[in-house]
Amino acid sequence: MNNSHLIKTEGLYKKYPMGPTTLVALDNVNLNFKKGEFAGLVGPSGSGKTTLLNILGSLDSPTEGSAEVLGEKVENLEHKEAAKLRNNHIGFIFQTFNLLPVYTVYENVEFPLLLQNISESERRLMVMDALEWVGLSDRADSRPTQLSGGQSQRVAIARAIVKKPALVLADEPTANLDAQNSHNIMETMVKLNKDLETTFIFATHDEKVMKYLRRKVYLDDGKIVKDEVIKHELSKE
Ligand SMILES: Nc1ncnc2c1ncn2[C@@H]1O[C@H](COP(=O)(O)OP(=O)(O)OP(=O)(O)O)[C@@H](O)[C@H]1O
Ligand SMILES: [Mg+2]
């Protein structure tokens, strides 16, 4: 695989049977993402953003066509192989945090590392490093119910980045957050993108996210209708 090419989709379709008809959630999507991108899938509700993000994250497979992610064709992966790809290389941030309420912040962030063969002392370093990234090292022993929405979302980000994955997929990561928290979270992700060259792909219709994106892929009715590269004032590109 060309290392700079992280993702390549070709003729991607996702179809759902709907009684006598078919709902086409993704309609011939052809898309590439390079390493280090900070990009968003944008478009109205129901346009296929989550569907596409889930396929790129090997949580779902296409009905037709191909999605090559980090050198693996998602449509060919067995259940176990897909899990391995996700565990090793992909971090997810979901709209609803998906934190485990009975575990502490520390344990939530540590969770993805338990699937890998990493010693406890090394895990500790990685977890504390990730919590530092999101500014929550002092809340390691708190439980999710003791955190604000913004703090919970930062824990979810720490959990997504703790393995230093090549790719982070974030589905509406700022939903339910106020402007200040959204801003802080986006700044954290921009910093990760710069410092670690982590590739970020968002699904969003939030203006607060969109203004940080360096590329916007517009979806409408499952089709890519526009693919826009944005030059930021301070961008080195
Ligand atoms: N499991 C499913 N069965 C049937 N239809 C589905 C399923 N999942 C998604 N769809 C349909 O596929 C289309 C795309 O859905 P998707 O969740 O990808 O949209 P979205 O762009 O993420 O929207 P939102 O902004 O509301 O999150 C929608 O019409 C949706 O109803
Ligand atoms: Mg969605």
Q: Determine the Cα–Cα distance for residues 134 and 128; give it in Å rounded to an integer.
A: 10
8 A C-beta contact, residue 231 and residue 74: no
Mean pLDDT of 32-44: 96
Q: Which of 14, 16, 171, 172 to mutate to test the pocket of ligand 1 (most atoms within 8 A of CB)?
A: 16
- 165 pLDDT more than 50: yes
Sign of CA dihedral 41, 42, 47, 50: positive
8 A C-beta contact, residue 178 and residue 136: no
Q: Determine the Cα–Cα distance for residues 184 and 208; give it in Å rounded to an integer.
A: 11
- 1 pLDDT more than 50: no
Residue 236, pLDDT score = 47
164, containing H or E segment = none
> Does the pTM exceed 0.85?
yes
Mean pLDDT of 43-69: 96
- 203 pLDDT more than 80: yes
pLDDT in tens, 67-95: 999 999 999 999 999 999 999 999 999 87
Q: How much distance in Å is there from the Cα of 33 to the middle of ligand 1?
A: 22
Residue 14 CA, closest ligand 1 atom number: 12
H helices of the chain, in order, are: 49-56, 79-89, 105-114, 120-133, 149-161, 179-196, 207-210
Which residues form the pocket of ligand 1, taking CB atoms under 6 Å from any ligand atom? 16, 23, 25, 43, 45-51, 203, 205
Q: How much distance in Å is there from the Cα of 203 to the middle of ligand 2?
A: 7
Domains and CATH numbers, the chain: 5-229 (3.40.50.300)
User: Which strands form 64-69's sheet, in the order they lie side by side?
Assistant: 21-34, 5-18, 64-69, 72-73
